[in-house]
Structure 1
Amino acid sequence: MTKQISDNLHANDNVDNTEEQAIFSGLPGSVFFQAVEHAPIAISITDLSANIIYSNQTFSRETEYSKEDVLGKNESILSNHNTPRIVYESLWGRLTQQKPWEGVLVNRRRDGKRYLAELMVAPVLDENNKTINYLGMHRDVTELHMLQQRVQNQKEMIEKVLDAAHTSIVLMDQENRVVLDNIAYKTLATDIAPIEPGALFLSKLKEDLGADFNQQKLKPGQTIAGHEVTLEVGKGKQHRIFSCDYSIVGIGDESADGFFSNPVQSYQMLVIKDITEMRHRERLEHMNAMQLLIAEEESVYHLREALSGAMFKFQQPLNLMSAAVRMLEQSAAGAELSAEKIVEVLKEAIQIGQDTCSMLEGVVPQRKPRSFGSININEVLRNVLEFSTPRLLRNGIQVVWLPSVYVPAIKGRESRLHSMFKQLVDNAIDVIELEHPVRREIEISTRVEREEIVVSVADTGPGIQDAMITKVFEPFFSTKSNSTPSSGRGMGLTLAQEVVTEHCGTVSIDPKYRDGCRILVHLPIDVQEG
């Protein structure tokens, strides 16, 4: 057998003048036999009918068939009989052309277990270039296929999950070239085209964070999370808000050069979530909550106003009676019985009245103290205008809104400031509603002067006479001849003065303004609670 295989392997020994002949002519055939016998790959040699005439040791280990089991048997004993016919047609077609064939077949071991065989079959030619045998080599690639399929499955699952996400995800190299993205990112790219979203959001992050954004210092696994970016998107320049997460992803080098050194390449990952709708809902919820707070404060305020007014009015006759008692007591005929009885009755009435006043004072609702927080005055005024929009539209009043581009945040009580500015706007609406001026306009502006924020609320009503400028801040004083649902009882500017005083500010009427009435509110930027 050794000699037969050696002769087949050296079928071209008679060919002269070749480099291969010069190299191998000195090697005995046993060397070739031992090399094949102990090769770490399953090798078999067949005749032209695919009957096995030789198999090596690895063949026996892979298939669990001994040499005696397979000698003279057809290679088909390894077949699982479910390989498509076209595969065998391709195999024999190549061999007929004296060309090798490579492919994967489903084989079956002696115990019936199936495995994937990566097979290469080549014709063995004699000196006349005639096929005399077939050489087959195969190895078990079941585990390799399983791993490859698992990787493919995981890749497809990850892609499906990424594409199903409503969050835009993109992976970019250090040159900001897109390596991997999902459908949501592609949709965003269509909206922002022709600018690449990844590069745009990176530039926004660098612009907003400045020195805090340094991708060179970020290590794989570290993240800049939840940074909000606002963009004008689409043909209509729609205002949209995005939340961005930025991180560095380390990926191993796939090239042969990196096999031992295993260098890590850094990629940039952006996770972009459109939170416009969420922020809109949050704003609506905040507005609704603020409206409830303002309504509660206004209700308590009007109740306090009514009770305070009642006590004020009730105190007047008590004062008159007290004066009458003093006059009677001081009269020359104070000892007369009738005067004593009158004094006694009046004192009793005064006592009852004072008890009633004390009782009314006891039921006056107290204002709930609220803690100071960071407040944007422009935001407060925008909210107030939104609250007042129905009345403004109903009365055909035009609003001129002139906010300062930059207004620093102040410390204050948000609901109290909302109530105060709403009262000022309501006063302006009331005046225009009652007086019917030709020009129906309210102008609201903000500006920063030194360490203060100045808010101006101006209307085009008849204005306030110079003699009344200080008097209008007195309790229960009103310039309105008629009452309206929101006009109150002359406590509007008193409330404004109370709230402004809480915030260490001032409120005044501009005496130089002649187109109506202009209220100026000065609020210091640096205010300490209490």
Structure 2
Amino acid sequence: MATDPEKKINAETDAVVDHSVDENNNNQSHELPMEVFFQAVEHAPVAISITDLHANILYSNLAFHQVTGYESDEVFGKNESILSNHTTPRLVYHALWGRLRQKKRWSGVLVNRRKDQSRYLAELMVAPVEAENGEVKHYLGMHRDVTEVHSLQQRLSNQNKLLELVLNQTPAALALLDEDRNLVLSNKSYQTLCQQLGAVEPAEAILDILIAEQPDLLNNEDGFANKEVSFEGSGDDQSYFSCFGNWIYAGMEGAENFFDQTTGKHLLLVINDITRLRHRQQETQMNALRVLMAEEELLEGLQEAFNGAIHQLQGPVNLIDAAVTMLKRREEDKDSALLKALEEARYAGISALEDLRDLVPARPVEKKIPVNLNQLLREVISISSNRILANGIVIDWQPAMHLPSLIGQEQRLRSLFKKLLDNAIDAVSARGIKVREIFISTRWENQNLIVDIADTGEGIAPELMIKVFEPFYSSKPKGKIGRGMGLSQVQDIVNDHLGTVHFDRDYRPGALARVTLPVSP
């Protein structure tokens, strides 16, 4: 036997449901008994309540009782505010009633209180129920307990914030890339690195460099570790990084992957800035390098002195040899004494030449190794810094951002560029030169490394641009140490590396020496 409240509830509900069904689909609604619609609402898994225009409850389903703890007779006729915890901001209720007055539905979250006084978060949707004439008769409310969902979301949000804080406090630059090498996530250190490198995307540039050196780098499922990369800048702006890469596998987020459990592949790139460490190491290396270069220059000076002496002595010996040949052809007795004297002189000259050749210091055999050409040129500039500063010379250093390693003899290559730089310093240090600048640049074209060293000196006459590479030719004043062998030695070193060196005929003012070296001779 139904009680009076239950009868009233059923009557009100039947009216609401009947009206809703009529509005939605008049044809289909009459095909099902009203009891079906009532039972569907009664057993719906979401808490449903129907109120009058003052929010007094006229009906509530089973889920409503399960969520709130109130029985139907306990809430019948009571206002929905019975569920309020009185901590939801008033603006929320103002927004709710504002929408309902406009005959529009409202959805949001309220802080509610159950019968046992425990609080919960209610995700609520309220909609007006209109009569056939458009007049609002009731309000339909549906809500569910989202406390646990909110707790999980908040916990996840807190973990994300903590993780973000930890990542941003990490000095290493971190970048997470997808399989197409698109940036998915990064920390503040990585963003700072982006600003430092300007237009260059650090992760993309680093991977390009590493893959160029090791094409199968990303095919290793274990990733990679301690791969060093350097980026060149103007002046002293040179950066060194130690890089690590690890693959991370995570489930795909798309709906199509719900049952498939397909995993996506991401690369975690860790970039450690080791510039300061490398600079400290370079300072120590530069001191040792200066000593080595001094010894190298002393050795070259001795070689040049002996070769010069041999060159000067070879001429008279050749003349004596020619005279002896001529006297022998004449076969006259009166020339016998002279012939004997000349033969003795020739023998003495040849013996002296052999002794001098034996005294020429031998250069140690140097193996070919991978050489960082930018770093080598930077060392050459540093070694010559005292002369550069003493003569008030400005160095415009424009290296390529990154160059592949050159397979060559490091010390001989260093000597090569030291000689070219010394020539440029001599050129701009001459009297009458007002603008004292030297431009040095590097670039990589067609598997060749190209180095330009240009100065603002007087330049080289076009007819002398080939002659300057001949041994013992020099345009420098007499008495200048090391006359005539520098560019000849430069030519020899370049030839040994299967490269080319020449002076640009069209460069004005001054001179431009261009060295082209294949990466793998």
Q: Secondary structure at the match of 1:103?
A: strand
Residue 406 of structure 1 aligns with an amino acid whose one-letter code is G
1:58 counterpart letter in structure 2: A
Secondary structure at 2:25 match in 1: helix
Instruction: State the SS of the aligned residue for 2:148.
Output: helix
In 2, Cα distance between the equivalents of 1:34 and 1:127? 24
Q: Given the superposition, is the C-alpha separation of residues 92 and 243 from structure 1 closer, same or farther in structure 2, using an over 3 Å criterion? A: same
The aligned counterpart of 2:266 is 267
Secondary structure of the residue that 1:11 maps to in structure 2?
A: helix
Query: Hey, what's the Cα distance between the residues in 1 that align with 2:102 and 2:52?
Result: 16
SS of equivalent residue, structure 1 residue 82: coil
Number of positions where the alignment pairs a residue of Structure 1 with one of Structure 2: 320
Q: Secondary structure at the match of 2:117?
A: coil
Output the CA distance in 1 between the equivalents of 2:235 and 2:75. Answer: 77
Asked if structure 2 preserves the Cα contact closer than 8 Å seen for 1:44 and 1:135, the reply is yes
CA–CA separation in structure 1 for the residues paired with 2:145 and 2:20: 32
Whole-angstrom CA distance in 2 between matches of 1:85 and 1:147: 26
Q: 2:110 aligns with which of 81, 88, 105?
A: 105
2:119 to 110, 114, 120: 114
Contact 1:52/1:72 (<8 A) preserved: yes
Q: Distance in 1 between matches of 2:12 and 2:277?
A: 82
1:6 aligns with 2:14: yes
- Write out aligned runs for 1:27-426 (5 A): 27-211=32-216, 213=217, 215=218, 217-219=219-221, 222-233=222-233, 235-236=234-235, 238-282=237-281, 406-407=408-409
Per-residue CA shift, 1:54-105, capped at 9, x if unaligned? Answer: 1111111111112222111111111111111110010001111111110001
Matched residue SS, 2:241? strand
Letter in 1 for 2:50: I
Deviations 1:301-330 (A, max 9, x none): xxxxxxxxxxxxxxxxxxxxxxxxxxxxxx
Deviation digits for residues 383-435 of structure 1 (CA, Å, limit 9, x no counterpart): xx99xx9xx99xx9xxxxxxx973499xxxxxxxxxxxxxxxxxxxxxxxxxx
SS of 2:180's equivalent in the other structure is coil
Correspondence for 2:27: 22
Q: Are residues 53 and 19 of structure 1, via their aligned partners in 2, closer, same or farther at CA, if it must alter by over 3 Å?
A: closer
Residue-by-residue CA offset, 1:165-185 (whole Å, 9 max, x unaligned): 221111222333222122222
3-state DSSP class of the match of 2:408? coil
Q: Distance in 2 between matches of 1:53 and 1:31?
A: 19
SS where residue 81 of structure 1 aligns? coil
- 2:12–2:58: 8 Å Cα contact kept in structure 1? no
Structure 1 position 247, deviation (Å): 2.2
Matched with 2:354 is: none
Deviation at 1:9, TM superposition (A): 1.0
Q: Alpha carbon RMSD of aligned pairs, Å?
A: 4.1
Q: Please give the alpha-carbon distance, in whole angstroms, between the structure 2 residues aligned to 1:150 and 1:63.
A: 25
Distance, in Å, in 2 between the alignment partners of 1:207 and 1:67 is 74
C-alpha distance 128-439 of structure 1, shift in aligned 2 (>3 A)? same
- TM-score, normalised by the number of residues in structure 2: 0.54
Deviation at 1:112, TM superposition (A): 1.7
Alpha-carbon distance, 1:229 to partner: 1.0
d(CA) in 2 for partners of 1:440 and 1:66?
110
Q: Is the 8 A contact 2:112 2:120 kept in 1?
A: yes
Q: 1:57 to 1:174 in 2, by over 3 A?
A: same
d(CA) in 2 for partners of 1:148, 1:249: 24
CA gap of 1:172–1:12, structure 2 versus 1, over 3 A, is closer
Letter in 2 for 1:77: I
Cα gap change, 1:85 to 1:12, in 2 (>3 Å): closer
**What is the CA distance between 1:271 and its match in structure 2?**
1.1
Post-superposition shift, 1:285? 7.3
3-state SS of paired residue (1:10):
helix
Larger radius of gyration: 1
Distance in 2 (CA, whole Å) between partners of 1:243 and 1:253 is 31
1:30 aligns to what SS in structure 2?
helix
Partner of 1:356: none
The CA deviation at 1:262 is 2.1
Cα distance change on mapping 1:150 and 1:218 into 2, 3 Å: farther
Whichever residue aligns with residue 223 of structure 2, its letter is: T
State the partner residue of 1:339: none
For 1:336-359, what per-residue CA distance to the aligned partner results, in whole angstroms no more than 9, with x for missing partners? xxxxxxxxxxxxxxxxxxxxxxxx
Contact 2:110 2:124 in 1 (8 A): yes
What is the alpha-carbon distance in structure 2 between the residues aligned to residue 165 and residue 139 of structure 1?
41
CA contact (8 A) 1:12 1:127 kept: no
Cα offset for 1:147?
A: 1.4
Counterpart code for 1:179: V
- Name the SS of the counterpart of 2:190 in structure 1: helix
Residues 504-519 of structure 1 aligned to structure 2 (within 5 Å): none
Q: Which amino acid aligns with 1:258?
A: N
Structure 2 stretches lacking a partner, 5+ long: 1-6, 290-366, 391-405, 412-478, 494-521
What whole-Å deviation, never above 9, does each CA across 1:214-263 have from its counterpart, x for those lacking one?
A: x2x333xx320111112213x43622211001222223221111111122
Identical pairs, percent: 42
- Preserved CA contact (<8 Å) 2:12 2:59: no
Whether contact under 8 Å (2:55, 2:80) holds in the other structure is: yes
User: How far, CA to CA, are the matches of 2:254 and 2:31 in structure 1?
Assistant: 40
Q: What is the SS of the residue equivalent to 2:19?
A: coil
Cα distance change on mapping 1:12 and 1:264 into 2, 3 Å: closer
Q: Deviations over 1:501-521 (max 9, x none)?
A: xxxxxxxxxxxxxxxxxxxxx
